Amino acid sequence: MIIKVLEILRITGTGLGIFLAYYYGKNPEEILHIMTPWLVVSIAGLSALEGLIWSKKAAEATGYETGSNYQKQSAFAFLSMTVISLIIYFSDWGPIANITLVLTFVLFLFMSAINHGYQAIVKKNLTWKNAIRPLLTALLIAVFWYPVTSILFH
């Protein structure tokens, strides 16, 4: 049950962050500044908690082995991205710092989505996370596309 709640919180926090960023952000820099911590904390932060505190339930929900050290390493990577996103936001390090974090975050999620898609299609591991992760990652890339490309190619 807690894993489903965390998934709902991830989606809700991400949706709220997108809304707030595009509602209050007056330009691509402000949109990215608002959106980045919301999305990183909602996705990476909650995934870190899930992997560190409820690792067995999280692994079972994905159809993966339990007790893996790789799961802990992934959770620590997510926790690191979460802390850095908050430092960048509150220290106002600027759009290049945000873009650097976003590209790292999205690239990790893109590679993870490939793995989840492979697990779903080739390995027939048709859990909810494996089935939906590629789609949600594509949507996440689309959401970041405008502010990132506007800043980089301006």
pLDDT, tens digit (0-9, with 9 covering 90-100), for 75-101: 999 999 999 999 999 999 999 999 999
Report d(CA 90, CA 68) in Å as an integer: 34
Instruction: Give the global pTM.
Output: 0.90
Q: How confident is the model at residue 61 (pLDDT cuts 50, 70, 90)?
A: confident
Report d(CA 135, CA 121) in Å as an integer: 14
Tokens of 154: 């301006």
pLDDT in tens, 99-143: 999 999 999 999 999 999 999 999 998 888 888 999 999 999 999
Residues comprising the chain, all counted = 154
b/e map 136-149, b = 16+ CB within 10 Å? bbeebbebbeebbe
**Residue type present at position 136:** L
**Residue type present at position 5:** V
